[in-house]
Amino acid sequence: MNEDLLAGFSALKSVLRQTFTREYVPGIIAIGLTNVCNLSCPLCITGLKRQQKSRQFMTYELFTSIIDKIRDFEGLVQLYKWGESLLHKDFINILEYCNVYDLNTEISSNLSLPNIDEKLEAMVRFRLKHLIVSFDGINQEDYSRYRIGGDFNLVLCNLNKLSNYKKAYKSIYPVISLQYLRNKYTTNQIEVIAENYKKWGADRYYSCDMTTVFKDRDTARAFQWFSEEEIARRKYLDVNFSMLGKKCPFLYYYLIVEQDGSIPPCCWCTDPADDFFQWDNTMTIKQMYNTEKFKRARRMFQDRKAEETLVCNDCSIFLTYMMQKNK
């Protein structure tokens, strides 16, 4: 009898948990236009050519179907993931289509591309709101150490052109940010960037954590880029330090749609086997963001219990969250 009562109570708890499970709506939608890049950065899954999904560009038809679905979206729309978005043949049309709905668009680019004047002008003309420029050095030697295949002077040239287009159109858009990845070679260069970023054509700059390939915890390999102090401070190097010990922001705030329409749980997952869903134009954004795998992954954080069949089960964010809760 007691066993029956316990079983019934357990079943009731399960029903209640499902009944009152909150459905989430993303505040950021990331659209991966491509997983192709012109550089070979040594800690990037694309640069290392370890992409497990075929190299391709999102079709314009898929892109417009996504934008039509989020035309009233007031959050951030990121037009990038694991590739160089400016390589997309429909890049200008993509910006123009987003501008129809005045979306809050953002792109991250290495800007080390020749003959992109029309695309630079389109960023201004079609009001791209924010451009992040990968800017990991103050000269060619330092820059190309990580941005392998990149041309530092070409980046500066394109920055200057973009700044001139902004002046010609009397526009504040796009706001240009220089993103500087901290590593053991470049720790003393942020002062130079602080002194020169406006002269180079940027509006602001910031530094952030460099990360290794997702779930790569080989500290011997990490010593190539990280100091002993940094390795000791962070311990887990494959995700941003600011995310460690907290609930995963991707499960509660980001929705990612990749170039092939697949929906992974986070920006680091590139294996098709780890995808949570596939874009379905008959469903709402909220429905796609609350499918079964998303709910199960969030339940891991709620119940503090791993789901062995999900890629999240040994993610550094979840592991450190469990450590915090077990203290």
What is the reported pTM? 0.89
pLDDT in tens, 112-132: 999 999 999 999 999 999 999
Instruction: Report the percent of the chain where pLDDT is more than 90.
Output: 72
Residue 14 resides in a domain: no
Residue 13 resides in a domain: no
Whether omega before 174 lies within 30 degrees of 0, making that bond cis, reads: yes
CA end-to-end span of the chain, whole Å?
37
Residue 8 resides in a domain: no
Contact 215, 237 (CB under 8 A): no
Task: Render the burial of 218-249: b for 16+ CB within 10 Å, e for the rest.
Answer: eeeebeebbeeebbeebebbbbbbebbbebbe
- Show the tokens assigned to 302: 């709620």
Instruction: Report the percent of the chain where pLDDT is more than 70.
Output: 93
Residue 6 resides in a domain: no
Confidence of residue 317 (pLDDT cuts 50, 70, 90): very high
Q: How many domains does the chain have?
A: 1
Residue 186 resides in a domain: yes
- Show the tokens assigned to 279: 């874009």
Output the pLDDT for position 49.
78
pLDDT in tens, 156-195: 999 999 999 999 999 999 999 999 988 888 777 888 999 9
What's the mean pLDDT in 252-277?
95
Confidence of residue 326 (pLDDT cuts 50, 70, 90): low
CATH code for the domain in which residue 72 is found: 3.20.20.70
Residue 2 resides in a domain: no
Residue 161 domain boundaries: 22-324
Residue 131 resides in a domain: yes
List alpha helices for the chain, DSSP H: 2-19, 60-69, 91-100, 117-125, 140-146, 152-168, 190-196, 219-222, 228-234, 249-252, 285-288, 292-303, 316-326
Output the pLDDT for position 327.
55
Output the pLDDT for position 218.
83
Residue 17 resides in a domain: no
pLDDT over 60 at 24, yes or no: yes
Task: Render the burial of 298-320: b for 16+ CB within 10 Å, e for the rest.
Answer: bbbbeeeeeeeebbbeebbbbbb
